[in-house]
């Protein structure tokens, strides 16, 4: 809970900084970053609630568990796709700077975010449809230990999600590798603005590290189930360790990547954190009466 509280304060401060200055929400890069911050904050709150619930109540109503699990799945799958979009934005800004203003616009960014939402919400909805068809109606009136494997028990759901996750994670990984290689080639050939190119290259590299940590969320359930079957008395401890590795550490990288490494955002963010925000001065127009005589 303490880690969740610290990260929530950091995320709220970044959102406040973003909303306070119009130069951020007119820039596609910061719009995607802020969507990822809000998405990660929601995901962290959901998985923290699920973890605390498993300690306190052990079992909750199936319908409530279904809502929590489906929302957590959507937020978990949104992060890698957002990382891919941010890497492509960096690639365009470095490799095609003259076309950047035409290719990366705010309406296109909003359309991209909507496409991510549509793509990530489809698998949990199909999971729910399969469960409604296969399970008896009384299943949603019972109480269960709130876990994805206990809620969506049909084997077809497992194989479907394996195919989907493997396909779209491979696409995201290839996107990050391609953009990183192209930015590196640009950095080697560039004679001016080398610092900005290297900064973009390092940003994409950090996105790759963050993606690897996010991909653990899709590997952990099988590994976690195997370890719990071997050490049944340490089930909650095993889930807690994986919770720290999979959900906490990747969420610390987002403030590092854009909160501290981005000079423009860091200037306004540190000003807010140190309570040095200057109040806005509003200038009201004054109508002067002109004597025309």
Q: What is the pLDDT of residues 47-71, one digit of tens each?
A: 888 878 777 877 888 888 888 888 8
Q: Is the pLDDT of residue 238 over 60?
A: yes
111 Cβ neighbours under 8 A, 6+ residues apart: none
What mean pLDDT is reported for the chain? 79
Q: How confident is the model at residue 112, as a pLDDT?
A: 92
Q: How many residues does the chain have?
A: 293
Give the residue from 93, 80, 82, 4 showing the smallest Cα distance to 42: 4
Give the residue from 31, 6, 10 showing the smallest Cα distance to 270: 10
More confident residue, 281 or 16: 16
Q: Is the pLDDT of residue 84 over 70?
A: yes
CA distance 164 to 152: 16
More confident residue, 276 or 156: 156
CB-side exposure of 48: number of CA atoms within 13 Å?
16
Q: Is the pLDDT of residue 115 over 60?
A: yes
Q: Is the pLDDT of residue 89 over 60?
A: yes
Q: How confident is the model at residue 114, as a pLDDT?
A: 93
Task: Map out the domains of the chain as residue ranges.
Answer: 2-273
CA distance 72 to 249: 17
Q: How confident is the model at residue 276, as a pLDDT?
A: 59
pLDDT band of 252, cuts 50, 70, 90: confident
Model confidence, pTM = 0.78
Q: Is the pLDDT of residue 279 over 50?
A: no
More confident residue, 231 or 188: 231
Q: Is the pLDDT of residue 130 over 60?
A: yes
CA distance 116 to 108: 12
Residue 94, classified by CB atoms within 10 Å of its CB into exposed (0-12), middle (13-18) or buried (19+), is buried
Quick count: other Cβ atoms within 10 Å of Cβ 70? 20
Q: Is the pLDDT of residue 235 over 90?
A: no
Tokens 């990530």 — which residue? 120
Section 155-171 average pLDDT:
83
Q: Is the pLDDT of residue 190 over 70?
A: no
Tokens 């049944």 — which residue? 232
More confident residue, 287 or 1: 1
Q: How confident is the model at residue 121, as a pLDDT?
A: 92
More confident residue, 211 or 286: 211
Question: What would the pLDDT profile of 25-44 be if each residue is shown by its tens digit?
Answer: 888 888 988 898 888 888 88
Q: How does DSSP assign 45-109, residue by residue?
A: HHHHHHHHHHHHTS-EEHHHHHHHHHHHHHHHHHHHHHHHHHHHHHHHHHH-GGGHHHHS-HHHH
CA distance 50 to 58: 10
Lookup: tokens for 244: 């720290």
pLDDT band of 196, cuts 50, 70, 90: low
CA distance 218 to 63: 23
Pick the CATH number of 2-273 from 3.40.50.12160, 1.10.3080.10, 3.30.230.10, 1.20.1070.10: 1.20.1070.10
CA distance 105 to 26: 9
pLDDT band of 193, cuts 50, 70, 90: low
């Amino acid at each position: 809970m303490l880690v969740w509280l610290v990260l929530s304060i950091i995320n709220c401060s970044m959102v406040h900084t973003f909303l306070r200055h119009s130069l951020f929400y007119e820039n596609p890069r910061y719009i995607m970053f802020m969507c990822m911050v809000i998405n990660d904050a929601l995901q962290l709150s959901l998985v923290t609630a699920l973890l605390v619930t498993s300690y306190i109540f052990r079992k909750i109503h199936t319908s409530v568990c279904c809502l929590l699990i489906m929302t957590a799945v959507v937020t978990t799958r949104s992060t890698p796709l957002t990382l891919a979009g941010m890497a492509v934005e960096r690639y365009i800004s470095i490799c095609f700077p003259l076309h950047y203003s035409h290719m990366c616009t705010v309406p296109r960014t909003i359309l991209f975010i909507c496409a991510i939402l549509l793509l990530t919400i489809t698998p949990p909805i199909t999971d729910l449809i399969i469960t409604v068809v296969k399970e008896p109606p009384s299943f949603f009136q019972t109480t269960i230990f709130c876990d994805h494997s206990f809620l969506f028990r049909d084997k077809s759901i497992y194989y479907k999600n394996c195919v989907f996750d493997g396909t779209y994670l491979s696409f995201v990984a290839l996107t990050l590798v391609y953009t990183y290689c192209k930015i590196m080639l640009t950095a080697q050939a560039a004679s001016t603005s080398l610092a900005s190119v290297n900064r973009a290259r390092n940003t994409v590299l950090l996105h790759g590290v963050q993606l690897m940590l996010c991909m653990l969320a899709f590997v952990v359930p099988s590994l976690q189930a195997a370890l719990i079957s071997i050490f049944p008395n340490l089930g909650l401890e095993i889930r807690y360790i994986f919770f720290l590795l999979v959900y906490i550490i990747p969420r610390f990288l987002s403030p590092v990547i854009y909160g501290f490494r981005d000079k423009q955002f860091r200037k306004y963010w540190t000003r807010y954190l140190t309570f040095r925000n200057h109040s806005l001065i509003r200038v009201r127009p004054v109508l002067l009466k002109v004597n025309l005589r």
